[in-house]
Amino acid sequence: MKKVLLIADDRLIGNFHREKLERLGFSVETARQAEPGLKMVLEKKPDLVLLDPVLANSDGVQLVSQIHASAPNTPLFIIGNCPRDLARQAEKMGATKILPKTDEPALQLAGEVQGLFGEQPQTPDDAPFSATDNAASWLKSSLEAAAESIGVMRRDLHALVRNAHDVNSLQNLFRQAHFLSERTALVGLRAVYRLTSTIEVLVYALHKMPEEVNPSVLRTLSQSVDFLAVLLAEENLVRVKDPSTAVIFAVDDDAQGREMIAAAMKMADLKIKTAESPNSALAVLEAEDFDLIFLDIGLPEMSGFDVCLRVRAFAQHAQTPIVFLTGLATFQNRVQGSLSGGNDFIAKPFNLHELGLKALLWVFKVQTGLI
C-alpha cells in the first residue's frame, strides 16, 4: 500500500482528500502545519507528499524547499487550486508537479496520484465519486465552514478599512478566501466557485501588492463577501448557473479603458461588447439585450448619467444592472448615479480582478433575483 502524506491547513479540505484517496486504496496521513509536516516526511518516509502551500504562520514555498532538501527523491505535488504565482514559486523550490486550477480538484488529484503509481485513473462515475459518496454531508460541512470563513473575512475587511496596510489581516483574508474557493470546488458548487476563486485571486494580488488596497476595492470585496453569505443559502444555490453565458456591455470613450475592461472580462470568463460614444452605445442597447452595463461617467456628447436615464427607458434594460466607472467616486456622484438609475460604481483606475469580481457579483445577483 502506497503511503501518502497530505499537508493542508484547512481540516475540512484535508479530510475530504484523505477520504477519497483512502477509498482508492492509499494509506494517507495528514498534517496541518509546516513543522509537523516536515517531521512526518522524515519519520514516515511517504511515497508521495501532497502540499497546499497556503499555511498559517508558515511559508509554504519555503516548506517545499525544506522537503526537497530532506527527501529529494520523494515526489511532491502542489494541490489546492493555489494562485499561479505561488505555484510557480513552489516549482522553483523543487515541487515535482503543480496541479492546475480546476472546478473538479478531487477527481483531478485522484487521477494524478493513480497515474504516478501506474494505476488506471477512475472516471467521475466510479467510486469514490459516485452519488453514494456522502455528498450531502460534505456539502453541509462545507457550507458551515463557509459561514465561519465569511465571518472571519468580514472582520479582516473591517480591519483593512481602519488600516489599509494591515499585513496580517491581508494574509488571513487570503487564507480564508483560498479555503472558500477550494471547498466550493470540492463539493461541486461550480458556479459559486467562479465567484469564490475570483475573490481569492483578487485578495492574493492585494496581499502581494498591498499598495493597491483602496476604498473602492475594499467596497467591492465587502459587497462580494456579504453576497456570498446570501448566495450560499439553500434557496439561492439552486438558482445559480454558469455565469459564462452572461454578456456584458461597456461604454468608455478611452480606447485603453475599453481594452482594460475587455481584459478584465476575459479573465473572469465573461463575454464583452464595447462602445466608444453615448450615441453608438444607445443604438446597440436599444437593439440588444445585455446582463450588465459598465458606464463611464465622463463621456463626450452627454454624461454617463444622461446615458443611464436614456437606457432605463428601454424596456429590456429597465432592470439591467448599471455600474458607473468614475475617477471621482464622490458623494455627489454617488447620489447622481443613483438618481439616474445606476446600481453601483467602481473607481478608476480599477484593478482588473476587482472589475471582474464586480461583474460576477451583479451577474449572480440577477440570477438569484436579488435585483
Q: Give 132's pLDDT tier (boundaries 50, 70, 90).
A: very low
Residue 33: is its pLDDT beyond 90? yes
Spatial distance between the Cα atoms of 343 and 49, rounded to a whole number of angstroms: 48
Out of 13-22, 134-143, 202-211, 327-336, which region has the weakest mean confidence (pLDDT)? 327-336
pLDDT reported for residue 331: 46
Note whether residue 124 is domain-resident.
Answer: no
Last residue of a domain, one of 213, 237, 261: 237
Residue 46 has pLDDT above 60, yes or no: yes
Q: Residue 358 is placed in which grid cell?
A: 464586480
Contact 248, 264 (CB under 8 A): no
264 & 334 share domain = yes
Which cell numbers in the block locate residue 45? Answer: 518516509
Mean pLDDT across 54-60: 90
Give the domain range for residue 341.
Answer: 243-367
Q: What is the per-residue pLDDT across 2-16, written as a single tens digit (0 to 9) for each? A: 999 999 999 999 999
Count up the domains in the chain and report the number.
3
Tell me, yes or no, whether 8 and 111 share the same domain. yes
**pLDDT of 158-192, one tens digit each?**
999 999 989 999 999 999 999 999 999 999 999 99
Which CATH number do you get for residue 140? 1.20.120.160
The answer to whether residue 258 scores a pLDDT higher than 80 is: yes
Predicted structure pTM score: 0.91
Residue 307, class by beta-carbon neighbours within 10 Å (0-12 exposed, 13-18 middle, 19+ buried)? Answer: buried
Give tens-digit pLDDT for 269-283: 999 999 999 999 999
